[in-house]
Amino acid sequence: MRLNILIGGKAGQGINKISEIVSDVLVNYGYFIFNYRDYPSLIRGGHNFNVLSVSDKKVGSHESKLDGIIAMDKKTIRLHKAELKKQGFVVDFKKFEKDNLGRNLNITLAGCLIKILGIDKNVLIDRIKKEFDNPEAISAAERGLNSEEEKFGLRKLASKINILSGSQAISLGAINSQMNIFIAYPMTPATGVLHELAGRQKKYKFKVFQPENEITVVNAGLGASFAGSKTMIGTSGGGFDLMTEGLSLQGQTEVPLVVYLASRPGPGTGVPTYTSQGDLDIALRGGHGEFPRIVVAPGDPIEAIEKTNEAFYLSEKFGSLSVILSDKHLAESEFSSDKKPNKIIPVKIDRKIPGQSIVKANSYEHDEFGNTTEDAGLTKKGANRRIKKYEEIKKDVRKFEMIKIHGKKDSENLIIGWGSTKGAILDAIEGLDFKFLQVLYMKPISDEIKKEIKKSKKVILVENNVTGQLGRLIREKSGIKIENRILKYDSRPFRSDELKKEILKIK
């Protein structure tokens, strides 16, 4: 069973609240959900919509055809009616215009959807009481419940399911690692982590700081880390560009630093509230000179918790730069899961800290004591030390999942992808003779990728960018060029039914 329901309206009307309420009710009823958010760069007005996908099995994407539309304005129906299935339903805000519901219209529409789905109305009423606890909100919910006919008859299931966005998951991973400070300047879609952590800092006893720009962010982050704090900084592509001199400073000083990079389409301002996997190249190479780094790319919130924890561990252990690479689709979509993340890896500070001993961190080439040098022999020695550290990182990282194989594991048909494409790929290959190789570590990259490609007859690369950046990385490391590529770069994520059609076209 799978349903795709679009909830649309203007920015500020509360469509996210409808999705939130209905998602909570569905999860408590034992159903899996995936919630995709689509919105322009506007605070008020425009056209915003969510696509809420519902299933009795795990779901990680949305589809192109709709089972229903919940419309908070005329534009929603006009723009999306052609996407409606033949037996699809429409709930039009106009039927409630005489009720003068005001800000409670979204609660009424949530009631409409709950009734259409066939869920016990008391589950919704209890949810409304828990959050709002006022007669107007309860009355608004009952108005919606009483206005529709049951259509789908969803029965209660026994599953225990949780909902997380990517931003919430990155935040939990940092908290699990006992982070001391998070520093960021707001930039969509990285801002979600800034908000999440700001709201939790008192409870978990860490600090959140917003300075005046991203140059300050990276330098303040290095300063905090030098002083002994477990530090993470956050940004999107344009901010990461500004940070690159500071990232190179990290490479020379070897002060641990974790960077959360949430991509959006570029170049320039691009399409700022939409999604792209266009920043893999800068995550791998941003900063001048040659120095070790780790780049991890989780594909769902559970992996985001785990890989953030691993990024902290590796950064502190090796005095390295760890980049956690995400994008708008992963950061702001809401995923449901019945799984729990792996056991937390303790993150220890084993280095010297100012105040406990004399410590020098130098942006110039330096000797083992931190003293500036331009000596040729010492310069070579420093470069060799940094490269040797990267070899040690490559050995240590093997204890983590660097890749995952999903689907029909003995298939000779292979799809390769990474990050937020995971959900759409998994949904697209269900029932097909394909396996999916998900790359989690971009740097260091696994030698197993080459082995999997060599034993496959058909190999397809799936990426949300223009040039196939993972494909280029694989070619660089393995010498193998992947000829079959499905690339989407219109600033929107893959929809699983459309991706399935593209996969089946490749003979």
- Do 227 and 111 lie in one domain? The reply is no
pLDDT tens digits, one per residue of 175-214: 999 999 999 999 999 999 999 999 999 999 999 999 999 9
The domain boundary, picked from 384, 399, 414, lies at 399
Inter-axis angle of helices 237-253 and 214-226, nearest 10: 30
Q: What CATH number does residue 477 fall under?
A: 3.40.50.920
Rounded to whole angstroms, the Cα distance separating 123 from 130 reads: 11
**Which residue(s) pair with 321 in the sheet?**
257, 293
Q: How high is the mean pLDDT of the chain?
A: 96
Do 171 and 295 have their domain in common?
A: yes
pLDDT exceeds cutoff 90 at 49: yes
CA distances from 218 to 280, 405, 483 (A): 19, 35, 39
Q: Which alpha helices (DSSP H) does 31-152 contain, by range?
A: 74-80, 105-117, 121-131, 135-147
Measured between alpha carbons, how far is 77 from 127 in angstroms, rounded to an integer? 28
Mean pLDDT calculated for residue range 76-97: 96
Confidence of residue 410 (pLDDT cuts 50, 70, 90): very high
* Per-residue pLDDT at 251: 97
**Would you state the pLDDT for residue 290?**
96
pLDDT of residue 459: 98
pTM of the shown model = 0.97
Residue 295 burial (C-beta neighbours within 10 Å; 0-12, 13-18, 19+): buried
Q: Is residue 127 domain-shared with residue 256, that is, in the same domain?
A: no
Q: 173 and 137: one domain?
A: no
Tell me the average pLDDT across 253-270.
97
Q: Is residue 159 included in any domain, yes or no?
A: no
Kindly state whether residues 168 and 102 are assigned to the same domain. no
The whole-number pLDDT of residue 334 equals 98
CA distance 355 to 227: 8
> pLDDT band for position 120 (50/70/90)?
very high
Q: Which of 78, 113, 147 is the last residue of a domain?
A: 147
Looking at the chain, the whole-number percentage of residues with pLDDT higher than 90 is 95
Phi-psi map region of 333: left, alpha, beta (phi>0 left; psi -120 to 50 alpha): beta
Same domain, 325 and 356: yes
Confidence of residue 507 (pLDDT cuts 50, 70, 90): confident
My answer on whether 114 and 194 are in the same domain is no
**What mean pLDDT is predicted for residues 39-68?**
95
Q: Rounded to the nearest 5 degrees, what angle is found at the Cα of 73, between the Cα atoms of 72 and 77?
A: 100
**Number of residues assigned to the chain:** 507
Residues 225 and 311 in one domain: yes
pLDDT in tens, 365-393: 999 889 999 999 999 999 999 999 999 99
pLDDT recorded at residue 133: 81
Predicted local confidence at residue 44, as pLDDT: 86
Q: How many CB atoms lie within 10 A of CB 314?
A: 25
CATH code, domain carrying 76: 3.40.920.10
CATH of residue 266? 3.40.50.970
| pLDDT above 90: residue 103 | no
Asked if residue 412 belongs to a domain, the reply is yes
The domain of 415 spans: 403-505
Handedness of CA 32, 405, 322, 369 (dihedral sign): positive
Average pLDDT of span 8-25? 94
Shared domain check, 237 and 367: yes
- Domain identity same for 361 and 472: no
Whether 158 is covered by a domain: the verdict is no
- Structural domain count of the chain: 3
Q: What is the pLDDT of residues 433-473, one digit of tens each?
A: 999 999 999 999 999 999 999 999 999 999 999 999 999 99
270-305 per-position pLDDT tens digit: 999 999 999 999 999 999 999 999 999 999 999 999
Q: Flag whether 305 is in a domain.
A: yes
| pLDDT confidence band for 431 (50 / 70 / 90) | very high
Place of tokens 């700022």: 272
pLDDT of residue 286: 97
Per the model's pLDDT, the better-predicted residue between 263 and 45 turns out to be 263
**pLDDT on residue 101:** 87
- Considering the domain boundaries, does residue 262 fall inside one? yes
Q: What distance in Å separates the CA atoms of residue 192 and residue 242, rounded to the nearest whole number? A: 20
Is the pLDDT at 60 greater than 90? The verdict is: yes
Confirm whether 187 is domain-assigned. Answer: yes
Asked if the structure places residue 155 within a domain, the reply is: no
